[in-house]
């Protein structure tokens, strides 16, 4: 599949981010380096017309002057200056042109960070009920959840046999729900709310573990991308952006989710992740090595701790195929307040570039602890 190049210059603290997005792309970087801003621009560049229609439907009138505030959150308008340039595949994206981008339908499905806060009372809010302080991608995702909840009856949201492969259901159950069933039930005020059922216990959303609260909207968002019919993907949607999938999750649950990411790639979606998790970068590094070594597809299954099966064979083979492009970038402060993007796709632990060898800084802290322990052991042995 051909690559897509997104370039952002002089927007907020992003000095220059040139991203060649592949079939599976990961952005890593410290807090506040603009990973989310960059991907919100991808959404605006591909689905600007859809965004504008959603805003207009909520009674908000986007103009060239206020469009940045309405997309990125009130207060962001000064981030666009006379020096700002945004382009997609070499074609400029401006405040004026956003409303003409795309065909009005959704081509980028965006799952934002802090998604659990959108359903803090066990029910998702509608787009127009969420403050314009909130980025539009979060408002749109909440509307998607609202629509999903509104269309559901008493049937379970998890597990769902016709939506997820059996191996995925088992991994998610073992890592997150532990034989619990997620569904919608009426509360005492006759309002439908999320419930987690364990035997006779029916737990309201805010009593769940942090990982369960974070994972559930993530999983429900993926349902939108996994049609129950025998078709691989939702018509029209080509991109999936998922921010910080690891939030609140044990590495076991992160690994289960990443196998679902490979399934999305196999279905034909182009997936972009932001992360602070070494587990995600470890996966990207392992996939690179397996591909370079022309490894058997069964080793992909081994990497995820699952038994090889005919269900997983096409998924594993797709990610190992040479035509499937894998990209990793670090967003880093090259100087105070000025962020640049750097391609570290090779993820070589022996690379001279610290950003690549340290996987965008994710392994540096572990190395510091290890070095300190090594020094202590060496010094104590000398003392003996």
pLDDT above 80: residue 365: no
Query: If you average pLDDT over every residue of the chain, what do you get?
Result: 93
Query: Average pLDDT, stretch 9-18?
Result: 97
> Closest by alpha carbon to 173, among 231, 128, 112, 219?
219
> Distance of alpha carbon 233 from its chain centroid, rounded?
17
Q: Which residues contact 107 (CB under 8 A, 6 or more apart)?
A: 46, 47, 236, 237, 238, 239
Contacts of 291-295 with CB under 8 Å at 24 or more apart are: 291/320, 291/322, 291/326, 295/320
Q: Collapsing DSSP states into helix, strand and coil, what is residue 187?
A: coil
Q: Which residues touch 168 (CB under 8 Å, ≥6 apart)?
A: 256, 259, 260, 263
With respect to residue 361, please indicate whether it lies within any of the assigned structural domains.
no
Domain that holds residue 87: 4-147+231-347
Q: How far is CA 136 from CA 41, 56, 165, in A?
A: 11, 12, 32
Assign 351 to helix, strand or coil. coil
Distance of CA 87 to the CA centre of its chain: 22
pLDDT, tens digit (0-9, with 9 covering 90-100), for 113-147: 989 999 988 999 999 999 999 999 999 999 999 99
Does any domain span residue 15? yes
Query: What pLDDT score was predicted for residue 339?
Result: 97
Side-by-side strand order, sheet with 201-204:
181-186, 192-198, 201-204
Q: Is 353 helix (H, G, I), strand (E, B) or coil?
A: coil
**Domain containing residue 50: CATH number:** 3.40.50
**Would you put residue 102 in left (φ > 0), alpha (ψ -120 to 50) or beta?**
left
**String of b and e for 199-219 (b: at least 16 CB within 10 Å)?**
eeeebebeebbebbbbbbbbb
Span 252-267, pLDDT tens digits:
999 999 999 999 999 9
Q: Which segments of the chain does DSSP mark as H helices, in order? A: 35-57, 67-72, 136-151, 166-172, 210-223, 251-267, 278-292, 298-303, 313-320, 354-357, 364-383
Do 127 and 142 touch, CB atoms closer than 8 A?
yes
- Is 38's pLDDT higher than 80? yes
DSSP 125: P
- Contacts within 8 Å (CB) and 24+ apart, 294-298: 295/320
**Planar angle of CA 225, 297, 277, nearest 5 degrees:** 60
Tens digit of pLDDT for each residue in 73-112?
Answer: 999 999 999 999 999 999 999 999 999 999 999 999 999 9
For the chain, the maximum distance between any two Cα atoms, rounded to a whole number of angstroms, is: 76
Domain contains 170: no
Q: What is the pLDDT of residue 384?
A: 62
Domain annotation covers residue 320: yes
Residues 225-248: tens digit of each pLDDT? 988 767 889 999 999 999 999 999
Instruction: Look at residue 201 and tell me if it is in a domain.
Output: no
Pairing relationship of beta strands 24-29 and 326-335 according to DSSP bridges = parallel
Number of folded domains that form the chain: 1
- Under DSSP, the state recorded for 158 is B
Residues in a beta bridge with 331: 29, 341
> Looking at the predicted structure, is the pLDDT value of residue 153 above 60?
no
Confidence at residue 173, expressed as pLDDT on a 0 to 100 scale: 96
Report how far residue 91's alpha carbon sits from residue 79's, in angstroms, rounded to the nearest whole number: 20
Mean pLDDT value of segment 311-320: 97
d(CA 186, CA 192): 4
Q: Whole-angstrom Cα distance, residue 257 to residue 244?
A: 11
In a domain, 281, yes or no: yes
């Amino acid at each position: 599949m051909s690559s897509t190049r997104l370039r952002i210059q002089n927007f907020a603290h992003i000095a220059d981010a040139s991203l060649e997005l592949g079939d599976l792309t990961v952005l890593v970087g410290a807090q506040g380096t603009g990973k989310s801003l960059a991907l919100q621009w991808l959404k605006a560049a591909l689905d600007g017309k859809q965004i504008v229609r959603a805003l207009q439907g909520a009674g908000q009138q986007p103009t060239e002057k206020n469009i940045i505030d309405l997309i990125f959150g009130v207060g962001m308008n000064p981030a666009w200056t006379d020096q700002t340039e945004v382009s997609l595949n070499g074609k400029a994206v401006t405040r004026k042109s956003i409303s003409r981008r795309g065909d009005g339908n959704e081509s980028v499905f965006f799952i934002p960070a802090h998604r659990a806060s959108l359903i803090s009372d066990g029910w998702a809010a509608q787009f127009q009920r969420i403050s314009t302080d909130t980025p539009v991608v979060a408002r749109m995702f909440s509307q998607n959840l609202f629509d999903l909840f509104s269309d559901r009856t008493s049937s379970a949201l998890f597990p769902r046999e016709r939506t997820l492969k059996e191996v995925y259901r088992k991994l998610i159950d073992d890592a997150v729900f532990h034989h619990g069933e997620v569904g919608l039930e009426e509360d005492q005020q006759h309002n439908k709310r999320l419930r987690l059922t364990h035997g006779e216990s029916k737990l309201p959303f805010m009593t769940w573990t942090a990982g369960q609260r974070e994972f559930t909207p993530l999983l429900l968002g993926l349902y939108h991308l996994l049609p129950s019919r025998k078709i691989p993907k939702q018509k029209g949607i080509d991109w999936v952006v998922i921010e910080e999938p690891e939030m609140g999750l044990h590495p076991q649950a992160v690994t289960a989710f990443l196998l679902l990411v490979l399934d999305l790639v196999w279905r034909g979606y182009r997936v972009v992740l932001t992360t602070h998790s070494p587990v995600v970068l470890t996966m990207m590094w392992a996939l690179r090595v397996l591909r370079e070594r022309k490894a058997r597809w069964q080793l992909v299954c081994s990497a995820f701790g699952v038994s090889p099966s005919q269900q997983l064979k096409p998924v594993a083979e797709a990610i190992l195929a040479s035509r499937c492009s894998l990209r990793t970038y670090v967003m880093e402060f090259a100087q105070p307040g000025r962020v640049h993007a750097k391609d570290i796709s090779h993820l070589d632990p022996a690379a001279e570039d610290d950003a690549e060898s340290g996987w965008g800084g994710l392994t540096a802290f572990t190395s510091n602890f290890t070095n300190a322990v090594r020094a202590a052991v060496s010094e104590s042995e000398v003392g003996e």
